[in-house]
Amino acid sequence: MTAAERARREGVGEGMHSRGGALRGQPEHVLVIGAGLGGLRTVEQLRASGYEGRISLVGEELHPPYDRPPLSKQLLAGAWEPERIVLREPEKLDELGVRYYLGVPAVALRPGEVELSDGSTLHADAIVIATGVVARRLPGQPERVHTLRTLDDALALRAALEQARSLLVIGGGFIGAEVASTAKDRGLEVTVLEALAVPFSRALGDEVGAMCGRLATEAGITLRTAARLEGFLEPDGDGAVAVELADGTRFSADVAIVGVGGTPQLDWLADTGLDVRNGLVCDASGRVRGLPGVWAVGDVAAWENVEHGRPHRSEHWANAGDQAAVVAAAIAVADAPPPAVPYFWSDQFGLKIQLIGRPELADATLPLHGDGLSGGDVKGTVVGYLAGDRLVAVAGFGAARRVARYRALLGNGADRTAAQEFARSLG
**Which stretches of the chain bind ligand FAD, using CB under 6 A?**
33-39, 58-61, 68-69, 71-72, 105-106, 130-132, 148-149, 175, 265, 268, 298-300, 315-318, 320, 344-346
Contacts of 157-161 with CB under 8 Å at 24 or more apart are 157/76, 157/255, 157/257, 158/75, 158/76, 158/78, 160/254, 160/255, 161/76, 161/186, 161/188, 161/255
* Residue 11 vs 384, nearer CB to ligand FAD: 11
- Residue 176's nearest CA partner among 192, 153, 152 is 192
Q: How far is the CB of 153 from ligand FAD (least distance, A)?
A: 8
Amino acid at 355: L
Q: How far is the CB of 152 from ligand FAD (least distance, A)?
A: 10
Q: How far is the CB of 187 from ligand FAD (least distance, A)?
A: 21
* Residue 97 vs 103, nearer CB to ligand FAD: 103
* Residue 14 vs 61, nearer CB to ligand FAD: 61
Instruction: Give the residue closest to ligand FAD by C-beta.
Output: 36
* Residue 54 vs 149, nearer CB to ligand FAD: 149
Contacts of 381-385 with CB under 8 Å at 24 or more apart are 381/211, 382/406, 382/423, 383/207, 383/208, 384/416, 384/419, 384/423, 385/205, 385/357, 385/358, 385/359, 385/361
* Residue 15 vs 38, nearer CB to ligand FAD: 38
Coil, helix or strand for 108? strand
* Residue 242 vs 355, nearer CB to ligand FAD: 355
d(CA 167, CA 193): 11
Helix (H) or strand (E) holding 214: helix 206-218
Q: How far is the CB of 109 from ligand FAD (least distance, A)?
A: 9
Q: How far is the CB of 302 from ligand FAD (least distance, A)?
A: 12
What is the radius of gyration, based on Cα positions, of the chain? 23
Q: How far is the CB of 125 from ligand FAD (least distance, A)?
A: 19
Specify which residues 250 forms β-bridges with: 244
